[in-house]
Amino acid sequence: MAELHDLTALEQADAIREGTLSPVELTEHYLSRIDRLDPSLGAFITVTPEIARKQAADAESVAVAARRDGHGLAPLHGIPAPVKDLSMVAGVRCTFGSEAFRNHVPEVDDHVVTKLRAAGTVMLGKTNTPEFGLPCYTENRLAPPARTPWDLDRSAGGSSGGAAAAVAGGLAPLAHGSDGAGSIRIPSSVCGLYGIKPSRGRVSSGPTLHDISGLSGSGPIARTVADAAALLDALSGPMPGDPYGAPGLPPGETFLGHARRHPEARLRIVSLLDPPVPGVELHPDCRAAADGTAALLRELGHQVDEAELPVDDTVRQAFSAVWDVMTLARPVPADAEEHLMPLTRHLRERGGRVSAKAFADALYAFRMLGQMVEDLLLTAGTGYDVILTPTLAQPPAPVGSQRNDADPEAEFAAITAFTPFTPLYNATGQPAVSLPLHWTESGLPVGVMLGGRYGAEATLLSLSAELEEARPWSGRHPAMW
């Protein structure tokens, strides 16, 4: 007999709409699983059962009234959706994954939280993240490491590792994540999930900690394309003070609608398998994942060509400069610097050495990179519609293997080698998704990544849905499920 967490988020929402499932019952189911399984997964930094129960009760009251009066409900009404602990919820501890902010309680909601409240979702708690979301693993001094439920000796990735561990382990049906260099796509890959890094400005980063570099943005992590699309609909839209704004969908259209239909035409796809960072080797399983996806796309009738991007260290250097400066921009109290992780202190020290001209040059390099990708690869009508790459250069890594407190410079180099493909889309602002289309012989998930034109999430969602239908993955679960 299926359990509640076997249902997709949209199936749960349908049951709530029909009155066969209560948000209260659903919330209690997940709180019970968190209590039982999270000590081994490390998915949450803070669990908020009182808030969850209150929101679930309110959602149930709204659902009862809607059925009585014949009113509709939002697509994810009553669905539990935890918030990554880099985003602020008024009155709830927000640590940013840092000992320096262990007792920090904000007074305002971030705009993503405002959106989640408006969608009628239920907050189970704040999910685990590394300090300030900096590395590609989720280990800090506040909570146990986030682990992929496919192998508890391996990391759930980062920096949305807690969110991905929660969804992959059945502790939440979907989750909010954020992505500054791959932080949604990395954990989606190593946890066997579908994750979306939206176009720059699609989801607001305000109102208090706007990312002025444009690298970071929030997005969904889910088990299915449709669930992720529904959460993207809920999170999207301009908010007061936003510095960027992605083009909206035509009136009456939704991302969920695009996830429920295949592409309307044969797509032109370019496969780029060679890591764009000098000296980085691609693991055979990651190459096999991309090659297998290319073959599947051809079977589905799409054109897939292979090409190479020049291996150039300029982009890596520009990204490092901006990353370091943005790390330094975090408002850490002077007396709390000693509580920061070695990698964080190292990056902040590097950021202090970046000149104003070097920072401006790096941001300009991002804009030129985006122009080059659009002009050479994704020009509408004459170029490709989608870029295919591996998500990562390596399969899931053992817990602790990527952290190097004794040599943070070597740690950052290793992070770069693990994630050579993902930062491209943070620099350009284009959307990208990670799909769980490959598993190793030992049963570890390995993701593949699709990138698209700026503002073209709809194309990526329709193509993802077609791939999901051809090679379903949502019924595949880890042993702890």
Residue 451 pairs with which residues in a beta bridge?
Answer: 387, 432
Please tell me the total number of residues recorded for the chain in this structure: 481
Neighbours of 444 (CB within 10 A): 17
CA angle 63, 64, 69 (to 5 degrees): 95
Q: How many helices (H) and strands (E) does the chain have?
A: 15, 11
**Distance separating alpha carbons of residues 10 and 445, to the nearest angstrom:** 24
Neighbours of 317 (CB within 10 A): 13
DSSP string, 224-244: SHHHHHHHHHHH-B--TT-S-
Nearest C-alpha neighbor of 424 from the set 460, 373, 362, 458: 373
3-class DSSP state of 80: strand
CA angle 112, 200, 256 (to 5 degrees): 65
Tokens of 105: 């309680």
**Distance separating alpha carbons of residues 121 and 111, to the nearest angstrom:** 14
Strand 386-390: give its sheet, edge to edge. 174-179, 217-222, 194-197, 432-439, 445-452, 386-390, 268-272, 303-307
**Distance separating alpha carbons of residues 135 and 131, to the nearest angstrom:** 8
Phi-psi region of 114 (alpha: psi -120 to 50; beta: other; left: phi over 0): alpha
Alpha-carbon distances of 330 from 83, 209, 325, rounded to whole Å: 20, 9, 9
Burial 376-403 (b: 16+ CB within 10 A, else e): ebbeeeeebbbbbbbbbbbbbbebeebb
Catalytic residue positions?
A: 84, 159, 183
Strand 83-84: give its sheet, edge to edge. 44-47, 125-127, 83-84
- Amino acid 339 reads H
**Distance separating alpha carbons of residues 113 and 235, to the nearest angstrom:** 9
Phi-psi region of 125 (alpha: psi -120 to 50; beta: other; left: phi over 0): left
Where would I find the H helices in 122-219? 161-168, 185-191
Identify whether the C-beta of residue 164 lies closer than 8 Å to the C-beta of residue 396: no
